[in-house]
Amino acid sequence: MKQVLSVLAVVVTGSWLAAAVAEPPKQVEWPYYGGDQGGMKYSALTDINKDNLSQLHVAWQWKHWETPLPDYGTVPGFFESTPLMIDGVLYVTTPYNSIAALDAETGKELWRFDGEAYKLGQVLSGSGWKLRGTAFWRDGDKLRIFLNSRHRLFSLDAKTGRPVASFGNNGAVSLTDGLQRVSDFTHVTQSSPPIIYKDLVIMGSQVPDRVQSADPVGQVQAINARTGKREWVFAVIPMSERDAGAKSWDDESWKKNGHGNVWAPMALDEARGLLYLPTTTPSSDYYGGDRKGANLFAESVVCLDVATGRMKWYFQEVHHGLWDYDNPAPPVLATITVNGRKIDAIAQVTKQGFAYVFDRVTGKPVWPIVEKPVPSDSNVPGEQPYATQPIPSKPPAFVDQGVTLEDANNLTPEIKAMAQAEMKKYRLGPLYTPPSLEGTLQSPSQGGGASWGGAAFDPGSGYLFVRAAHSIGRNRVAKNDGTDALVDPEYSNMFARGAEEMTLRGLPLNSPPYAVLTALDLSKGTIAWKVPLGEGSPSLRNNPLLKGVVLPDRLGSPNSRGGAMVTKSGLVFIGGGDGYLYAFDTLTGSEVWRGNVPYTNNANPMTYRTASGKQFIVMATGTGADNALVAFALGGGRGGTP
């Protein structure tokens, strides 16, 4: 009997070992722009960890094909794509709103599809051409990729890259035909990926800030993934006096104002069927004399029933916006525990440096948000700034706010004196100080604070990680004299004369750091840690005014493009805006690794594991023809070293 048991044990053990050896490592995908539909930008992978980071090398690089096209007057912009990884294939979008499929193991190009969006000419967006991602849909056993390319939506066969003939008109539908108050359809474009819910493909739009005319109204639309039929439309700005929010536009000013669009990615609670929209400033960004009132539902978080497009709740974060404080990033859906109570929450990071945190079902703030008085005096004719703004009691602002003379660049006494002399030419004040004829210095600047890279959430620690630029911008308006072709004299009495970041002979007006990475503890509503992000550009470090000055290792790189990605291994990965991919310790904020990338980062990193068992971290870098999608993996590689 003893011998039989021994034989049986050998047979069972041998079978188990054979099965273990035969079973391939589990492939882990990155199927959505934000990792999941709620945009946490989180991965449970731990293959790459603190113990082996020193072995992280560039495994491969891929370069997109786009260059300036003189025939169309176009120039490709920043390479800001975050690819999807599905079934061992990467799907990566390009600045000209086209797409390619790559082998996720090797980076070999499998196919490319040219959406020919450039044939409409250069986009009027201040940041130019870009498309930050794509989305997928399964039709039974068929995988479809949806490419929202400027004014069209394409349904592509994921295996071949060819348009699906049964969708719309031979694989494409218009995103502007039939919509109200679109004005010139060439002024509407796409910069963010769609959201997919069941058989619906849902998109916002990008409209140009520079145009002050009958510019397009911000509208979110749902397209049937199978047929291409438009199923519903939600207009952020009221379209009739019966619409919700219409009374917040004095003198029916909703009739001639546009924007309020959703250019940032959206977030979805798929189980509950709730869609979350981060809306933007109404036109124009800096002058509101033609739109007195709170201006709902601009600069708000809006929750919709995703099946119908009907509004469930909203919260306006900026009343009567005058600072171009668009909601720049997707909300993050996170489950947190506050005072022992579990909350399914939504966190919206903003250009002005706040994180607004709500119960995602009811819209009730997790911590009180208080209407506080703000400066409301203005020397701009016709302007009537709002007297209060909603200020979160928690968490604290994750970047400095407002401008005083004490914020002047203090790298040397001479630089500080020069900076203060320049600052005295303009109006200074706390956050939400209105624009002025002489120019108001605002901080965060028009670019943020937080930007489109958004935030990443670690469910283990409950920390929300957000990148923020720390810079001063000038907000100046002037009389419309009719000389600007993009400003319609019949539309606006005033226009933005200057809305740019301020420098002093190439140096920022304010002191470093010029970018920070912050961890917000969403269980406590506190800042867990904050560290400078990036070395600072060579032109900054080599500025003649800084000759002989001993500078910090990390000045912070003011490039605000791209955000963080966090893994279960306790690492936060983010591009530094300075030619490096960084890894920080989740709990302490200490830098634990950095690796060279060929060009400055412009995108959110992502990660996945292939069927071979290898984890990759991938990030887009560069602009125009100088670009590369860079894949890091453990062990040796080609194409670069850390």
Contact predicate 456/572, CB 8 Å: yes
Helix, coil or strand: residue 3: helix
What percent of the chain is modeled with pLDDT above 70? 92
Please indicate, yes or no, whether the overall pTM of this predicted structure exceeds 0.85: yes
What is the rounded end-to-end Cα distance, in angstroms, of the chain? 61
d(CA 133, CA 121): 21
* Res. 603: pLDDT tops 80: yes
Q: What is the mean pLDDT of residues 212-226?
A: 87
Residue 51 corresponds to which amino acid? Answer: D
Tokens, residue 56? 């992280």
User: What pLDDT sits at residue 181?
Assistant: 87
**Mean of the pLDDT values across residues 514-522?**
97
- Specify the range with the lowest mean pLDDT, choosing from 35-49, 122-136, 380-394, 519-533: 122-136
Average pLDDT over residues 400-406: 98
Beta-strand runs (E) in 175-308: 195-197, 200-203, 219-224, 230-235, 267-269, 274-278, 300-305
Identify the pLDDT of residue 329: 97
Residues 6+ apart with CB under 8 A from 431: 352, 374, 389, 401, 402, 442, 443
pLDDT, residue 283, reads 87
Amino acid residing at 113: F
pLDDT over threshold 90, residue 303: yes
CB contact at 8 A, 196 and 202: yes
500 or 474: which carries more pLDDT confidence? 474
Q: Which of 406, 422, 403, 401 is nearest to 545 (CA)?
A: 422
Q: Does the pLDDT at position 308 exceed 80?
A: yes
Q: What number of other Cβ atoms are within 10 A of residue 18's Cβ?
A: 10
More confident residue, 347 or 504: 347
Report the distance separating Cα 497 and Cα 505, nearest Å.
21
Q: How many CB atoms lie within 10 A of CB 550?
A: 6
pLDDT for position 480: 80
- Quick one: CA dihedral 209, 211, 216, 222, positive or negative? negative
Q: Can you give the pLDDT at residue 498?
A: 63
Inform me whether the pLDDT recorded for 13 exceeds 80: no
pLDDT of residue 20 exceeding 70: no
More confident residue, 560 or 387: 387
User: Comparing 3 with 59, which gets the higher pLDDT?
Assistant: 59
Per DSSP bridges, beta strands 515-521 and 507-508 are unpaired
pLDDT at 271 over 90: yes
Average pLDDT, stretch 133-137?
A: 98
Query: Quick one: tokens of 524?
Result: 């406590």
Q: What secondary structure letter does DSSP report for 47?
A: S
Tally the residues of the chain: 642
Residue 185: the pLDDT is 84
Task: Determine the Cα angle at 547 with ends 543 and 548, to 5°.
Answer: 150
Query: Residue for token digits 């709500």?
Result: 358
pLDDT grade for 212, boundaries at 50, 70 and 90 = low
Q: Which of 121-135, 430-444, 478-492, 561-575 has the lowest mean pLDDT?
A: 478-492
pLDDT confidence tier of residue 207, bands split at 50, 70 and 90: confident
pLDDT (mean) for 600-622: 96
Residues of the chain by 3-state class (helix, strand, coil), percent to 5: 10, 35, 55
CB-based contacts of 347: which residues, under 8 Å, 6+ apart?
Answer: 331, 332, 334, 355, 356, 357, 455, 457, 464, 522
Which band of pLDDT confidence, cut at 50, 70 and 90, is reported for residue 188? Answer: confident
24 pLDDT more than 70: no
Q: Residue 492: is the preceding peptide bond cis (ω within 30°)?
A: no
Select the more confidently predicted residue: 498 or 85: 85
Residue 74 Rama label (left phi>0; alpha psi -120 to 50; beta): beta
Backbone dihedral angles phi then psi of residue 237, each to the nearest 5 degrees: -90, 135
Number of alpha carbons in the 13 Å side-chain half-sphere of residue 640: 22
Lowest mean pLDDT among 6-10, 51-55, 321-325, 340-344: 6-10
Query: Is residue 257 pLDDT above 60, yes or no?
Result: yes
pLDDT, tens digit (0-9, with 9 covering 90-100), for 564-588 = 999 999 999 999 989 999 999 999 9
Phi, psi of 245 (to 5 degrees): 90, -10
Mean of pLDDT values over 592-609? 96
Could you tell me what percent of the chain has a pLDDT over 90? 83
Q: Does pLDDT of 641 surpass 80?
A: no
Mean of per-residue pLDDT scores for the chain:
92
Q: How far apart are CA 197 and CA 203, in angstroms?
A: 11
Greatest alpha-carbon pair distance for the chain in Å reads: 103
In angstroms and rounded to an integer, the radius of gyration of the C-alpha atoms of the chain is: 25
Contacts of residue 94, defined as CB under 8 A and 6 or more positions apart, other chains included, come to: 64, 65, 66, 76, 79, 81, 100, 131
User: Which of 169-183, 212-226, 238-252, 309-323 has the least mean pLDDT?
Assistant: 212-226
Q: What gap in Å lies between CA 486 and CA 124, rounded to an integer?
A: 10
Using one digit for the tens of pLDDT, what is the confidence trace for 520-542?
999 999 999 999 999 998 889 99
Instruction: Give the 3-state secondary structure of residue 586.
Output: coil
Amino acid at residue number 337: T
Burial label, 368 (beta-carbon count in 10 A; 0-12, 13-18, 19+) = exposed
Does 59 score more than 90 pLDDT? yes
Per-residue confidence (pLDDT) for residue 642, from 0 to 100: 28
Using pLDDT thresholds of 50, 70 and 90, give the confidence band for residue 495.
low
Question: What's the CA gap between 533 and 524, in Å, rounded?
Answer: 24
Confidence of residue 490 (pLDDT cuts 50, 70, 90): low
Fill in the DSSP letter of residue 493: S
Instruction: Write down the pLDDT at residue 21.
Output: 52
Q: Tell me the average pLDDT across 340-362.
A: 98
Per-residue pLDDT for 10 more than 60?
Answer: no
Interstrand relation of 42-43 and 564-567 (parallel, antiparallel or unpaired) = parallel
